[in-house]
Amino acid sequence: MKTQVAIIGAGPSGLLLGQLLHKSGIDNIILERQSGDYVLGRIRAGILEQVTVDLLHEAGVGAGVDAGGTVHHSIELVFGGARHPIDVHGLTGGKVVTAYGQTELTRDLMQARAAQGLTTVYEASDVALHDFDGSRPRVTYQKDGQTHTLECEFIAGCDGFHGVSRASVKDKVTEYEKVYPFGWLGVLADVPPVSPHAIVYGNSERGFSLCSMRSLTRSRYYVQCPLTDKVEQWSDARFWDELRARLDPELAERVVTGPSIEKSIAPLRSFVAEPMRFGRLFLAGDAAHIVPPTGAKGLNLAASDVKYLSSAFIEHFNERSAAGIDTYSARCLRRIWRAERFSWWLTTLMHRFPDAESFGQKVQEAELDYLVNSRAMSTALSENYVGLPL
């Protein structure tokens, strides 16, 4: 087979890139090692910056988020037993974020790709990248017991942290990493969100908490927990009791409980791989960077990578310009490091660290007090939360 761009990975970033390229007349084929059902079963991000929503519309798949997304105008910080709203909408000149589950977003992109008859090869095993340092890269893979070769002009590595794309250039990248000494226990439940138009971040002596949502009938809640904890140790009743104990009394009373439909513990890390271009191979999304979920930047950073990369390919094929390709890595990394800084700062501010004594907790509370009472600090938080401009 031949194509102009081979995309490795059929998650949101790979599918979105394929959609944008197709709209500009650029042929692409996506290879995915998992099944379509497995990809849809991933329970991940659900907060979209306006930049990401705009990009979905540019790709022609914005109807789902328009119909099913919930706009958030503010965030709320809980500390010292009280809740403090931050008017994100007012402090950023009208910008907002939108709650829309990654599962729904991925389904929208999958359905659009299928309706257009575009090729996605699921359950492609033993994927290997070849000759991307030259002018004729190719990808080999196994499917149904046979070896296939895909010839292309460029390879886009959108296959995540554990994918083959970054592994193929392991000796050529510089990796920066910070691993945090705790995890997030997350519960997905079909209950109305405790705060339908705001995300609630909690800081308490018991640890961090987060009240988020996927829709007006499905909520996503988290509590900080030790990395040594096992999901089996956390019954639904224990989780709900712990969540309420970390919120202010009025909000705790409003928590509607119900059986969990998904429960998992995720470790937190900050990670960046530099550079993001290797000849005709380009990394995007989690293949190049990971952020703690505290700032809701993971999916949004992947979308901005895709925006830069699709523009670079469009310039190359339609305008015969190499400018976008040559500057891709530098443009992405500038935005990535800003988001990494914000996610690290918010994680440090909101979590209880195992080695922190009472002094550390008091310093956190003092900074939070300054944050909610300083318009400048509240504005800086809001600007980063809704997403810095491309």
Q: Is 316 a catalytic residue?
A: no
Condensed to tens digits (0 to 9), the pLDDT of residues 208-227 reads 999 998 888 999 999 999 99
Q: What is the CATH number of the domain that holds 307?
A: 3.50.50.60
**Set 297, 307, 316, 351: catalytic member:** 297
Does the residue 78 lie in any domain? no
**Set 293, 307, 316, 328: catalytic member:** 293
User: Do residues 147 and 209 share a domain?
Assistant: no
pLDDT value at residue 272: 98
Does the residue 73 lie in any domain? no
Rounded distance, CA 18 to CA 27, Å? 8
User: Do residues 51 and 110 share a domain?
Assistant: yes
Q: Is 362 a catalytic residue?
A: no
Does the residue 84 lie in any domain? no
Q: Is 180 a catalytic residue?
A: no
- My answer on whether omega of the bond before 249 falls inside 30° of 0, hence cis, is no
Q: What is the CATH number of the domain that holds 219?
A: 3.30.9.10
User: Do residues 246 and 356 share a domain?
Assistant: yes
* Structure-block tokens of residue 157: 């590595």
User: Do residues 32 and 105 share a domain?
Assistant: yes
Condensed to tens digits (0 to 9), the pLDDT of residues 67-118 reads 999 999 999 999 989 999 999 999 999 999 999 988 999 999 999 999 999 9
The amino acid occupying position 137 is: P
User: Do residues 48 and 151 share a domain?
Assistant: yes
User: Do residues 120 and 50 share a domain?
Assistant: yes
Domain that holds residue 209: 180-268+352-386
User: Do residues 62 and 205 share a domain?
Assistant: no
**Set 100, 141, 201, 222: catalytic member:** 201
Does the residue 86 lie in any domain? no
User: Do residues 130 and 207 share a domain?
Assistant: no
Q: Is 297 a catalytic residue?
A: yes
**Set 72, 95, 263, 307: catalytic member:** 72
User: Do residues 102 and 54 share a domain?
Assistant: yes
Whether the CB-CB separation of 29 and 119 falls below 8 Å is answered with yes
User: Do residues 123 and 42 share a domain?
Assistant: yes
Q: Is 263 a catalytic residue?
A: no
User: Do residues 320 and 203 share a domain?
Assistant: no
Condensed to tens digits (0 to 9), the pLDDT of residues 137-147 reads 999 999 999 99
Whether the CB-CB separation of 261 and 189 falls below 8 Å is answered with yes
For all residues of the chain together, what is the average pLDDT?
95
User: Do residues 144 and 111 share a domain?
Assistant: yes
- Does position 41 have pLDDT exceeding 70, yes or no? yes
